[in-house]
Structure formats: C-alpha cells, structure tokens
Amino acid sequence: MERRNDYDVTNQVNTTDPASVITEVNRIFLELYPNSSTHVLNRSFRDLTRLHKGEYPGYRACDTGYHNLQHSLDVTLAMARLMDGYERSHDSHRTEALGAKLFRFGVVTALFHDIGYLRKVNDMRHKNGAEYTLKHVTRGGKFLEEYMSRLGMAGLAPIASQIIHFTGYERPIRKIHVPNLTFRLLGNMLGTADIIAQMADRCYLEKCRDRLYPEFVEGGLAARDDTDHRAGVMFKSAEDLVNKTPKFYETATVRLNDHLGSAYGYGISAARICIWTKSPRISTTPWKSPSSTICHCCGARRRTLAKMASTSIIRTSLRG
C-alpha cells in the first residue's frame, strides 16, 4: 500500500489523530512496563489536544500551520519509539534503564516541546503564534515548569524546561544544563525525534513551502515580499526555502550525529518492521553506523536526501 499523507513511516498510525497516536504510545509503554499506569500519558494527550483547539483555560487555539498538533504528535511518536529502542537495546554505551517515570517524562516533553507557539487569551500584541518563533522554546519551558506540577511531576519541572531546548536553537546544545547523562540522553532523543519526525513526513517539502514559510515570515526569518529587508531574513521566497532544504539536511545530519549523539540509532532498534521492505525485523541491535545508507535489518541500500534532493527533483516532487 502506498504511504498515506497523514500516516507515520509504518503507514499504520494516523498522526493527525490524537487517539491513534496515544494508542500506539500506550502500547509501547505497557509492553515495557506492564504494571504501570498510563494516567499521566492519557491526561497529557488530552490537555495537548485541548490547548491546540483553544479549549484550555488561558490559551488561544493554535494558529501556526506547520508547528501544529500533528507535528507535536509526530514528534511524540518518534520519541516513544526512540525510548523503546533504548530500553530494549544491549548497547555497550547504555548507561541505565529509563523506567516508567522517565519514559512518561520523555513523552510529556515531546508533546509540549512547541507549546510556546500558542498565544495566551490576553495577548493583544501578537497576531499569530509564529511571531514567537525565535523564543518559543523558552516560552514552552515556562509552561512546562507549571504544567509538570499538575501532573504530579513537580520534581522534574526544572529539568523539563531545559530538556526542550534540545529541540531548538535558542542556546547551543552543549550549554544546556541537565543533572546527569540520563537526562542528556533524553534530551538527545528529544532533539532527534523533532528532526526525524519532520523529515520523515510524507508531505515535508509541501509543508515547508506552504506552511513553514508563512511562519518564518511572521517570525522574521523570511521576506514578506521583495521590499522586505528586515535583519535576520534568511529566505527570500517559499521556493528559496525549498531550494535550501538539501543544505538544511546536511546541517541536520551534523546536528544529529555530532550534537545529539546519533540517538536515532535507537529508532532502528525499536522498529517492529523494516521501513523499506515492510518485512518483520530480524536484528534487535541498534544501528551502529551514523553515516551508513544501508538499512541494518534488511541490508537495502537507500539514497540519502543529500544525494537525491537536487533542485529539479525537489521541484518535481512538490505537488500542487
């Protein structure tokens, strides 16, 4: 079956549907920790949905087309699978098991990592949440410091506000302060989930052109028109943004490998089926080679985006 636009890489989970994603996350969680409660996970998913719909006290509905509910659900699903892979792995570099408490922590931080884009009801200064682009992570951290207490996880609130900085660019990753290596690993996985969930999206290029560019305009990173010469503008047009996507891929690869510890390898370990052949996985060993283009479970050689995303290919792959 051809992969559907609103589904994950396995073509089995509808990432626009919170119920579909929480079902899969709970399945992963309960396979790892069969005697643990899913109450925190269920409540967090409900609250995130209410926030994005404008049903949460004090907040307006989400009005950013790219950093929306689907994006948060996509990242959360990727984060759950990375943590699953870590818990199941026997890698020599593994420190210690996460356990149910930190798995919940990882899910919550993934769900709310971009909550800083949402405007409060009394915000009359900003017309769109994308205006917070350059500081949305810090805003999200402040939200999490309060929200974690409501979940009964007050002790982890200060760490949550730091962990989500692994998904942003407001501060260098090396300067993000966390208590120990386990939390740094969680931060690496969260930052990784944020990148791979976007680039694995079936409609990634279209969303960059049609949704992300307008956000960048409001955030001061892209030009409104030919007369826009604001400092900080990096993209002159939606086409310019798409044409620079291969360069972003190269930069993201460096970030994944050099700054985020190649944590994506745990996703390969977690996979139940090969994403290329859709066959059951045989190996449970994490992917060892960050630069390899060979699927570890089936040996299928695949071209990377850096090799395939020439301008002409990008243009012809965009629909509409």
Q: How far apart are CA 22 and CA 33, in angstroms?
A: 16
Closest CA to 165 of 215, 131, 114: 114
pLDDT tier at 96 (50, 70, 90 boundaries)? confident
Instruction: Give per-residue pLDDT as tens, 169-220.
Output: 999 999 999 999 999 999 999 999 999 999 999 999 999 999 999 999 999 9
Q: In the chain, where are the structural domains located?
A: 18-317
Q: Which two tokens stand for residue 45?
A: 């998913």
Q: How far apart are CA 78 and CA 76, in angstroms?
A: 5
pLDDT of residue 290: 36
pLDDT tier at 145 (50, 70, 90 boundaries)? very high
With tokens 């769109």, the residue in question is 128
Contacts of 33 (CB under 8 A, 6+ apart): 99, 100, 103
* Range 309-316 average pLDDT: 34
Which is it for the CA torsion 67, 72, 77, 78, positive or negative?
positive
Contacts of 93 (CB under 8 A, 6+ apart): none
Q: Which two tokens stand for residue 106?
A: 């990882």
Instruction: Give per-residue pLDDT as tens, 155-176.
Output: 999 999 999 999 999 999 999 9
Q: Which residue has the higher pLDDT, 316 or 58?
A: 58
Mean pLDDT lowest for which of 104-108, 145-149, 247-251?
247-251
Instruction: Give per-residue pLDDT as tens, 272-287.
Output: 434 333 333 333 333 3
pLDDT tier at 88 (50, 70, 90 boundaries)? confident
Average pLDDT, the chain: 86
pLDDT of residue 283: 34
Q: How far apart are CA 268 and CA 286, in angstroms?
A: 6
Q: What is the CATH number of domain 18-317?
A: 1.10.1300
Residue 59, SS3? strand
